[in-house]
Structure 1
Amino acid sequence: MERMKSDGGSSSIRRRSLSISSHRSYQTDNDVDFETVSEAGDIGDRALPSKRFSESNSFHSENGAVEFHRLHPNSSIIPLSHEVSSTPPLSTDAIVGSEDSSKLEPPKGLPVFLDYVSCMTQLAVFGILGILTRYLLQKLFGPEVANVTNNHTILYLDLPSNMIGSFFMGWFGVEFKKDISNVSEHLAIAITTGYLGSLTTFSGWNQKMLELSASGRWVISSLGFLIGLALVSVSIAFGIETAKGFRWLLNRLNITSSENCISKINCKVDSYLRQLTVMVMFLVILGILWGVSGALVKAKFKNGGSAAELWFACLVGPIGVWIRWFLARLNGRGLGKEGLMFTWIPFGTLIANVSAACVMAALSTIKNVVNTRNCDTVVAGIQFGVMGCLSTVSTFAAEFNKMRLSSDPWTAYVYAAITICLSFSFGILIYCIPYWTKGFDIDM
């Protein structure tokens, strides 16, 4: 009897330990899934090769226990200080080749500082190109040419750029991002975070809905958010599907993959000389863009107008791209002392969009108060450049789409509601209330 009790007790302990182990495994898998979803858009400077190497190959030894870091599908690695020796070790697949010291050596590229300079330069160049493209799309679809969009309806001026940017985010930010990264990590960051992030703007979208609400058109404003969200969601989904179809077509035509192409023609930017050459090239391009923009601003500033605002936006726009890129490191980190709370929320993108929308509303209020030509030019340039590049719809759409297709699709709608409600609520306080109390005229 005592032996039976002993056996029964031990089996109960085993069952309890198995239950705890399976529950812990489920929590770990769920956390990894949430973090991966929240990093669907960008992970900031953690995407740099130097950052990945320093984080992926580091380990802590405390009381004889080795602490490994968790790997993510996007090749970004986040050190988790809360993992202890009781956590199940990584599978052998995750640490294959760890004994080969040659594989632990960092790539022979630029030093960390120059690596940052190169990445930020490419972000600035592609950010300016995104500003120019957004301006051209406004003119093309606006009242001056196609007359499809305007400031008085649901079809706001930045809707075409938000849809087109989200569509191409499905191509270059989801389906073909790995292929581009095989050539250059910086190029993949520059196209997605720099160009597509600057081509799309959440703050401009929010501000147009605020202006409609301030003039009493609340129904149109509400529909503007709902229809705008639906259109960018369809755009990125359509982009992903067409990109998959294009990849399938390439496979059917027996066209070699990008990895085989890279191995044959050796076009990957991974050596010191190649990275230095690319950095110098983009520094020259950035200097030319800033030089031309500065000269045109000086020539057109006195007369004001959209041209002066555009070139001033090109001068200051890269600031917004850089801030958003650094904020993206918060994506997937979560809240709390150990970063375990709300890991599914991409806080970097959320902060960038909400803060840009608030500053955009504040600048619009200042513009109404001062109401001079020079102030209008500077404020509009900052709005179109810095705020337009700081906020993004393409990354927001990628995160929304990833959450919607995850095991917890409700997170997508909660995330969208948080972003829109916070931005619109603060905008009412900052912009609409001064308009109602002071009686400003809205130049729509």
Structure 2
Amino acid sequence: MANDDNEDEAYQNPESSSDPTETGHCGSSTNNPNKDLIDAPASGDDSSSNKIPIHHIHKWNWLHIFYLSTFSIFGITIRAFMGRFFGGDCDADATVPINDWLTPISRHVCVTTSGRTDQYGGALFIDLPANMFGSLIMGFVTGHSTDWPVLAVLKHDHPLQNEDGLHLGLKTALCGTITTFSSWNAQMVLMMDGTGTVLGSQVIAALFGYVLGLQVSISCFRAGRTLAAWFHLKNNPHIFDSVRFIAEDHTSVRMAETTQLKGTHLWNARILPSILASALFILFVLGDFYWGIEYYRQLWISCLFGPFGAIIRWKLSTFNGKMNQWIPIGTFISNFVASAISAFISAIVISSTLNTSFWTLHSLKAISLGFAGCLSTVSSMVKEVVEITDKNPHFDKRHLCIHMGQ
């Protein structure tokens, strides 16, 4: 059940029925008293090999909301500072220059570009490094099989392997908010249109940006799965013996899921993340009002809006696979709506006059960075692309066209 809170478990995974580990498991579950916890019975549109019923996965739970909210703040922070470090601080048209601890370093990197300045190379969009990093982590916590423990750096019987809320926070909130489809798409549209840019229309660069962004993210996701396999080979070598792992591990681990986290594990899983998230928020507020760095106003407002985007995306993921098993409609809706919001805000910011208050501009940018950035995701999208096309290559072109059509 450690993997059951992943947002993408809710749609029918065509890979599941042909997974060797699933075959071995089904073959050994005839007299298994916990079979109803492992293979949910097929009924209607949900006739897949999901581990538990969908309504159990996506029921409202305060612990799930806590993890989604907390880890979305981490994701926003990582994405914002990675964007600045790899190229955001090199934009010559910055309305208000940012002078903080990162500026002396980031001014000498300049790998990516926003597409608005006289710097060429807009295909390497601002959020490309963040999308790569988030996809890598998603691959690492996903692994090659849903039967694998989520945390490859820990033993399979570690108490944190049973903390479903933590797994949800890592996959849906952290990976989903580090990566963003909305700002990526907004930058490509801006480059193709050419409004408010120094170089004018950059159609070829934007098209390359779409292809490059998708392929690099997929490669990073696959690299993350490979990295997880290496760690599991060291920490949990028995999982590669599927028959023994399923026979011995499913019963013991799933029976232990009812136990409560205590002591150090409770501190690591729940208390420490809440302290870190609160500390980040306070630092952003201090950066705005005490140190007078207006950029941090955008960050602390983003931290207020971001959790709502992550929670809405999590709930929308229940629609994945409802129409067709190769269309994750929930992820599509999330990315489509977030892209529309981000593009609308970008148009307002570009056309705004000098008389527009900083509060208004930073609030709009915060909605784009926080709410729209967390509502959209690249890591879940590439996970769906890889998992669906690995076992169903004929879905590949259709699935990619659906996502890129956003």
Change (3 A) 1:201 1:38: farther
Report if aligned partners of 2:281, 2:300 keep a CA contact under 8 Å in 1: yes
1:165 aligns with 2:134: yes
Q: How does 1:385-400 map to 2 (within 5 A)?
A: 385-400=370-385
User: Counterpart amino acid of 2:84?
Assistant: K
Matches of 2:334 and 2:79, distance apart in 1: 19
Report if aligned partners of 2:74, 2:277 keep a CA contact under 8 Å in 1: no
Matches of 1:323 and 1:354, distance apart in 2: 13
Q: How does 1:141-156 map to 2 (within 5 A)?
A: 141-142=86-87, 143=90, 144=106, 145-152=108-115, 153-156=122-125
Report if aligned partners of 2:385, 2:399 keep a CA contact under 8 Å in 1: yes
Counterpart of 2:25?
Answer: none
Change (3 A) 1:70 1:158: closer
Q: Summarize deviations over 1:216-265 as a string: whole Å, max 9, x none.
A: 10010011001111111111112212322332344569999899899999
Matches of 2:49 and 2:272, distance apart in 1: 35
Change (3 A) 1:176 1:309: farther
5+ long unaligned stretches in structure 2 = 1-8, 17-35, 91-105, 116-121, 151-159, 195-200
Change (3 A) 1:298 1:38: farther
Matches of 1:167 and 1:288, distance apart in 2: 23
1:310 aligns with 2:299: yes
Identity of aligned residues (%): 24
Counterpart of 1:125?
Answer: 70
Report if aligned partners of 1:122, 1:190 keep a CA contact under 8 Å in 2: yes
Counterpart of 1:240?
Answer: 225
Report if aligned partners of 2:284, 2:299 keep a CA contact under 8 Å in 1: no
Counterpart of 1:415?
Answer: 399
User: Counterpart amino acid of 1:351?
Assistant: I
Change (3 A) 1:259 1:362: farther
The structure having more radius of gyration, on CA atoms, is: 1
Report if aligned partners of 2:309, 2:372 keep a CA contact under 8 Å in 1: yes
Matches of 1:158 and 1:149, distance apart in 2: 8
1:377 aligns with 2:359: no
User: Counterpart amino acid of 1:308?
Assistant: R
Q: 2:309 aligns with which of 308, 312, 320?
A: 320
Counterpart of 1:300?
Answer: 288
Q: 2:258 aligns with which of 249, 253, 270?
A: 270
Report if aligned partners of 2:76, 2:370 keep a CA contact under 8 Å in 1: yes
TM-score, normalised on structure 1? 0.63
User: Counterpart amino acid of 2:170?
Assistant: I
Q: Summarize deviations over 1:298-354 as a string: whole Å, max 9, x none.
A: 7626966322211211121101100100001101222xxxxxxx2320001000011
Report if aligned partners of 1:304, 1:377 keep a CA contact under 8 Å in 2: no
Report if aligned partners of 2:54, 2:318 keep a CA contact under 8 Å in 1: no
Look up the SS of the partner of 1:128 in the other structure: helix
Counterpart of 2:98?
Answer: none
Change (3 A) 1:325 1:78: closer
Report if aligned partners of 1:167, 1:237 keep a CA contact under 8 Å in 2: yes
Matches of 1:182 and 1:260, distance apart in 2: 16
User: Counterpart amino acid of 1:293?
Assistant: F
Counterpart of 1:75?
Answer: 51
Report if aligned partners of 1:179, 1:258 keep a CA contact under 8 Å in 2: no
Change (3 A) 1:270 1:421: same
Look up the SS of the partner of 1:319 in the other structure: helix
Counterpart of 1:139?
Answer: 84
Report deviation, 1:179.
Answer: 1.2
Change (3 A) 1:308 1:261: farther
Aligned length: 328
Q: How does 1:80-99 map to 2 (within 5 A)?
A: none
Matches of 1:56 and 1:356, distance apart in 2: 33
Look up the SS of the partner of 1:35 in the other structure: coil
Q: Summarize deviations over 1:271-321 as a string: whole Å, max 9, x none.
A: 36769x959984895487357626744762696632221121112110110
Q: Which moved more, 1:371-380 or 1:286-295?
A: 286-295
Report deviation, 1:267.
Answer: 12
Matches of 1:419 and 1:264, distance apart in 2: 40
User: Counterpart amino acid of 1:398?
Assistant: K
Matches of 2:111 and 2:379, distance apart in 1: 21
User: Counterpart amino acid of 1:352?
Assistant: S
Counterpart of 2:387?
Answer: 402
Q: 1:354 aligns with which of 332, 336, 348?
A: 336
Root mean square deviation, CA, Å? 4.1
Report if aligned partners of 2:15, 2:390 keep a CA contact under 8 Å in 1: no
Counterpart of 2:102?
Answer: none
Report if aligned partners of 1:332, 1:345 keep a CA contact under 8 Å in 2: yes
Report if aligned partners of 2:192, 2:202 keep a CA contact under 8 Å in 1: yes
Q: 1:35 aligns with which of 2, 7, 12?
A: 12
5+ long unaligned stretches in structure 1 = 1-31, 40-51, 60-66, 80-105, 107-111, 335-341, 423-444
Counterpart of 1:205?
Answer: 184
Matches of 2:47 and 2:161, distance apart in 1: 19
Report deviation, 1:37.
Answer: 4.2
Report deviation, 1:161.
Answer: 0.9
Matches of 2:276 and 2:229, distance apart in 1: 37
Report deviation, 1:147.
Answer: 1.6
User: Counterpart amino acid of 1:196?
Assistant: C
Change (3 A) 1:261 1:343: closer
Q: Summarize deviations over 1:51-77 as a string: whole Å, max 9, x none.
A: x97x958x9xxxxxxx79966434143
Matches of 1:290 and 1:381, distance apart in 2: 18
User: Counterpart amino acid of 2:173?
Assistant: G
Q: How does 1:51-62 map to 2 (within 5 A)?
A: 56=40
Counterpart of 1:101?
Answer: none
Change (3 A) 1:260 1:222: same
Report deviation, 1:186.
Answer: 1.3
Q: Summarize deviations over 1:2-36 as a string: whole Å, max 9, x none.
A: xxxxxxxxxxxxxxxxxxxxxxxxxxxxxx9x821
User: Counterpart amino acid of 1:333?
Assistant: K
Report if aligned partners of 2:288, 2:297 keep a CA contact under 8 Å in 1: yes
